[in-house]
Amino acid sequence: GQQLNQSPQSMFIQEGEDVSMNCTSSSIFNTWLWYKQDPGEGPVLLIALYKAGELTSNGRLTAQFGITRKDSFLNISASIPSDVGIYFCAGQLLGTGNQFYFGTGTSLTVIP
């Protein structure tokens, strides 16, 4: 199946710092999604992106749909302890029966 390369795999940051993570693929995607998963729970949708170059914010979170349509970025500003969790990107590939493919996740730890 399709591989989405998500980096970094894990991050340890101080509270108040900004965070950046990204997702890349060798294929062109027509939709990018970002999810956050808390321990013992299912992923929760954070941001959805539908057009190349699109920049969308949700509070302190900002995500961008890469111009090449092969990548996406998620930034978190002024991190707080409740930002801890695993962040997943997901991409929908053109012409694949609408299936979503998921990245391997970025584990974020925020140190108070």
Partner 1 sequence: KAGVTQTPRYLIKTRGQQVTLSCSPISGHRSVSWYQQTPGQGLQFLFEYFSETQRNKGNFPGRFSGRQFSNSRSEMNVSTLELGDSALYLCASSLASGNIQYFGAGTRLSVL
What is the contact surface with partner 1 in residues (CB under 8 A)?
A: 1, 33, 35, 40-45, 48, 88, 90, 92, 97-105
Task: Rank residues 37 and 75 by Cβ distance to partner 1 and give the closer one.
Answer: 37
How far apart, in Å, are the Cα atoms of 74 and each of 8, 40, 46, 55, 96?
11, 23, 10, 10, 25
Question: Per the structure block, which two tokens stand in for 35?
Answer: 């999810």
List, edge to edge, every strand of the sheet that includes 19-24. 5-7, 19-24, 71-76, 61-65, 55-58
Give whichever of 75 and 100 is closer to partner 1, judged by the CB atom: 100
Residue 95 or 112 having the CB closest to partner 1: 95
Q: Could you tell me the smallest distance in angstroms from the CB atom of residue 94 to partner 1?
A: 11
State the minimum distance, in angstroms, from the CB of residue 48 to partner 1. Answer: 6
The closest of 4, 38, 43 to 108, measured between CA atoms, is 38
Shortest reach from residue 37's CB to partner 1, in Å: 8
